[in-house]
Structure 1
Amino acid sequence: MEQNINLEKAESLKEEANELFKKQNYVKAITLYSNAIEFNPNSAVLYANRSFAYLRTECFGYALEDASKAINLDKTYVKGYYRRAASYMALGKTKLALKDYESVFKARPNDKDAKLKFNECSKIVRQQAFEKAIAVDTIKKCISESINIESMSLESSYNGPHLIDGKVTKQFMEELMEAYKDQKKLHRKYAFKILLDVEELFKSQPSMIDVTIPEDQKFTVCGDIHGQFYDLMNIFKLNGLPSTENPFLFNGDFVDRGSFSVECIFTLFGFKLLYPNHFFMARGNHESQTMNQMYGFEGEVKSKYSMQMAELFTEVYNWLPLAHCLNQRVLVMHGGLFSRDEISLDDIRVTDRNRQPPEEGIMCELLWSDPQPMKGRSPSKRGVGIQFGPDVTARFLERNHLDYVIRSHEVKSDGYEVAHDGKCITVFSAPNYCDTMGNKGAFINMNGKDMKPQFVTYDAVPHPDVKPMAYANSLMSLFG
């Protein structure tokens, strides 16, 4: 096919795309960079720019591809290596990222930023190698077994909420949320107690939870919260507090990016303990150690509590259920469907979840996959999981006698999206995601009788002046 090369046109489209990028309109910027590439397919700069826009929209697989193309076109183009290193970091592939940071550092030995990123990445790779060596040498003991709650004393100066006889009560939850709104902290003794109790509760549950919704009862499904505590409070203001009469399901990605993740997770875990049969939580791809190290949750827990607590969170997250089936009609998971047609609900039920998310298979795809408009399956834009088309959804629903699926995992400008002929619904509950995306948030209400989704959308509310990613790994500044 003869290429229609027009360097002037490509340059003009690039300038336009750069302006859109500055205004944080990444999706439109990607379209224009793509148009520019058609007019000048040999420009490393265009691929690197589009790679950066893909990074911003969390399409790490595509970002990686574009960065590699930029490097292939120009082996000396430093930004190409920067972008590829960032893509590898986002995917938790730290050794590959280190190779690219090393290339940047060798090319620019006097560049402070290059040196800083190379050193920081080296540190992470060494730390991971050390942790791996320890794990091999010793039988991995449960963090929960090493925690002695009784030895933790309550200082007389502590004026926050108290557990009653070691239990979460409605009064405790109301006081906890008020304390968090005032940026106060829950005592570490109570924080540890909640974590240990909720771990035992999750341990007793299967990987897929069957939920029964009575005919006349409302049920609410929320998507990603991502550490946006004040928006979580707004959800409860709009929809009422969780109770036995007002059940909720939070569909993963409770933490990371937003800098009030600790407040979010203890609020949600508290409600789980208070209403164990009417408050549900599913694991998202961000309830994992690699993501928490990169995107801020580990840093936030270390800052507000301790590394020991961060390790306990990792252990607790391993026990979160992977999916919920509502009235045997609707399947809810964080990511999406599978690379194989024959997967059944029973396969999900027996999936071993007590581990870090693997790179492939049922658990990986439940946490990472995304829908696509065209039929069939494609490699994931994220570099993990797959993309699945309307035909894949239709076959899965038919095979498992389901009406539709609900998933989260993707920012949507309206807070939700109905795709695949109404059979695949995305719900995302973090409005103005990362204080930059300008999207609405949404949650879904339905009743047990007809299970029809009703969407409630809302805008972001103000929050104290702590920026998103405030606790993230410094290498993530490439995204900022």
Structure 2
Amino acid sequence: MADGEAINEEITPKNSGKPLLKTKDSLTEEDKIKAEEVKEKANQFFKKEDYSQAITFYSQALELNPFVAAYYGNRSLAYLRTECFGYALSDASKALELDKTYVKAYYRRASANMALGKFKLALKDFEAVAKAKPNDKDARAKYNECNKIVKRIAFEKAIAVDDKSVAEQIDLESMAIEDEYEGPEMEEGGKVTGEFMTQLMLTFKDQKKLHRKYAYQILLQAKEIFSSQPSLVDITIPGNEKFTVCGDIHGQFYDLMNIFELNGFPSKVNPYLFNGDFVDRGSFSVECIFTLLGFKLLYPDHFFMARGNHESVTMNQMYGFEGEVKSKYSQQMADLFTEVFNWLPLAHCINKKVLVMHGGLFSEDTVTLDDIRKIERNKQPPDSGPMCELLWSDPQFQCGRSPSKRGVGVQFGPDVTKAFLQRNKLDYIIRSHEVKNDGYEISHDRKCVTVFSAPNYCDTMGNKGAFINLKGDDLSPKFTSYEAVPHPNVKPMAYASPLFGLF
């Protein structure tokens, strides 16, 4: 979330993909007038950035009159703003079924496909817009930008060399530490110490950089640690000891520092698990990830990190992390981050009773903890299957499963959670991936806990962040919510793709 991605899991597209309940012949003038009134009410909520309410009223307008392309188009944009990309895609396509000349719907569908990394499909829609509006400079610019991405991906694929990783190409010996460098320094042999971490965080607070040599050393050592771990890591919390689980951080470095101020800095007696989506969106992602990786090196057996859906190339290209790394360091370092992210564990199991993953559960009933352990994860996330679902899925209130609002993964109900827990002899699951007003939510008969740790997400959502404390002899989650803290005047998405203006 995101995706800390979608805002409310109760948002569902009431008309998308369902047979229309009305025919044009049965539609009355009263229906049409009332639908327009409701649509205007939805527009007002949209202008106030209350997208959840806007979606509710656009849906009511569609129930009254399901034959107006703009209603679908407007709801599609609201879904884009709440990052329900699957629903946005469906609505945009429905709008185009009703009106093939409705240019905004091509934009909406292209935006959803871009967000899902389906660049070739997005390019087709940008091309349609450019043809329909040949004198529109913005339309042509969007087409050209998307075309560049498609060509770049094809070129990178063509020249890719499988037998040599980026890590093997790094020459640390050639990286000199300049005399004027005043930041933290690693000990001989690249050892991270408590003093180094203290200085690192102070350096980042002052908006200064870690020297690239030390940055590369951290990444190389982190890759070595993560690649030695299984896809499912078992964690043991002894007796009465405290353990903390944090959700999405999304590049909000100053809020990460606030977590440590509130809950104590990581140590052997204050262990942490950060549950994915460390980067993207927020414009201090580099600072966040080096801080987290530094603590991983300092306390490898007491500091844990799981992969989120934003620890992937497509997300990083769109949502800002790649651009930030290139701006602060280099493309080579961005490529090395990809190698490190590919090795991040996919899930953690606490005391054999609590399973923690970024997204959620599965499209199949048969998945076991052993299946998760066996996942070959050193790759970009696939579009389907257990690895994809661990990173992308979301809970829903109703029983059963539904297509994902995001267009990736699945939505799973309380019955799915209950059956999974029984099959694997677990008490409950913890996941992240979604903004929640208080920073957390308990659902599925208290068997599914969501934690989201980026307050006032993207400087716009107004939500609180939260973290969870557990005790070894009492695995009941205890929640701490907190407000956002001030940060330097660098807006979220400052390094994002130029195409992100579409959202």
- In the alignment of these two chains, the number of paired residues is 477
Given the alignment of the two structures, is residue 217 of structure 1 paired with residue 241 of structure 2, yes or no?
A: yes
Is the aligned partner of 1:67 residue 2:81? Answer: no
1:83 match: 108
Q: Which residue of 2 aligns with 1:324?
A: 348
* Letter aligned with residue 172 of structure 2: I
CA distance in 2, matches of 1:470, 1:20: 26
The 5-angstrom pairing of residues 371-386 of structure 1 reads 371-386=395-410
Tell me, what secondary structure is at the counterpart of 2:131? helix
Query: 1 CA distance for matches of 2:136 and 2:151?
Result: 23
**Cross-structure match for 1:44:** 69
* SS of structure 1 residue aligned to 2:39: helix
- Candidates 171, 174, 180, aligned match of 2:204: 180
Residue among 129, 142, 147 paired with 2:170: 147
The residue matched to 1:451 in structure 2 has which SS? strand
Specify the code of the residue in structure 2 equivalent to 1:73: L
- Residue from 360, 363, 366 that aligns with 2:390: 366
> d(CA) in 2 for partners of 1:350 and 1:4?
55
Q: Distance in 1 between matches of 2:486 and 2:67?
A: 45
Could you say which structure has the greater relative contact order, defined with CA pairs below 8 angstroms and 6 or more residues apart?
2
> 1:376-415 to 2 correspondence within 5 Å?
376-415=400-439
CA positional deviation for 1:386: 0.5
- Is this contact kept in 2: 1:4–1:38, CA < 8 A? no
TM-score, normalisation: structure 1: 0.98
Counterpart in the other structure of 1:418: 442
Structure 1 segments of 4+ aligned residues over 6 angstroms from their partners? none
Instruction: Indicate the residue corresponding to 1:162 in structure 2.
Output: 185
Q: Deviations over 1:203-235 (max 9, x none)?
A: 111110000001111100000000000110111
Query: Gapped runs of 5+ residues in structure 2?
Result: 1-20
Matched residue, 2:335:
311
Shift of 1:140: 4.2
Alignment of 1:196-215 (within 5 A): 196-215=220-239
Whether contact under 8 Å (1:191, 1:266) holds in the other structure is: yes
Which amino acid in 1 is paired with 2:309?
N
Identity in percent: 71
Aligned residue number for residue 50 of structure 2: 25
- Give the superposition deviation at 1:4: 5.9
- What is the one-letter code of the residue matched to 1:144? A
Whether 1:342 aligns to 2:366 is yes
C-alpha separation in 2, matches of 1:278 and 1:139: 34
- Most deviating of 21-30 and 147-156: 21-30
Write the mapping of 1:448-463 to structure 2, written as runs, cut at 5 A: 448-463=472-487
CA distance in 2, matches of 1:234, 1:19: 35
For the pair 1:113 / 2:113, whether they are aligned, the reply is no
1:269 matched residue in structure 2: 293
Inter-partner Cα distance in structure 2 for 1:67 and 1:278? 46
Distance 1:278 1:56 in 2: 37
SS in 2 for 1:220: strand
Give deviations 1:268-305, integer Å, cap 9, x for gaps: 00000000000000000000001000100000000000
| Deviation string, structure 1 residues 168-226 (Cα, Å, up to 9, x no partner) | 11111111111111100000000000000000010111110000001111100000000
Superposition deviation, residue 141 in structure 1: 1.6
State the one-letter code of the partner of 1:249. Answer: L
Q: Which amino acid aligns with 1:191?
A: A
1:246 and 2:270 are equivalent in the alignment:
yes
Q: Which amino acid aligns with 1:250?
A: F
- Provide the TM-score with structure 2 as the length reference: 0.94
Separation (CA, whole Å) in 2 of partners of 1:282 and 1:186: 24
Instruction: Give the one of 256, 260, 280 matched to 1:232.
Output: 256
One-letter amino acid of the structure 1 residue matched with residue 250 of structure 2: H
| 1:128 aligned residue | 153
After TM superposition, give the deviation of residue 139 of structure 1 in Å: 2.7
**Counterparts of 2:101 and 2:330 in 1: how far apart (Å)?**
43
Which string of whole-angstrom CA distances, capped at 9 and with x for unpartnered residues, describes residues 431-479 of structure 1? Answer: 1111111111011011001100001001111111111111000101111
Q: CA deviation at 1:399?
A: 0.5
Shift of 1:131: 1.3
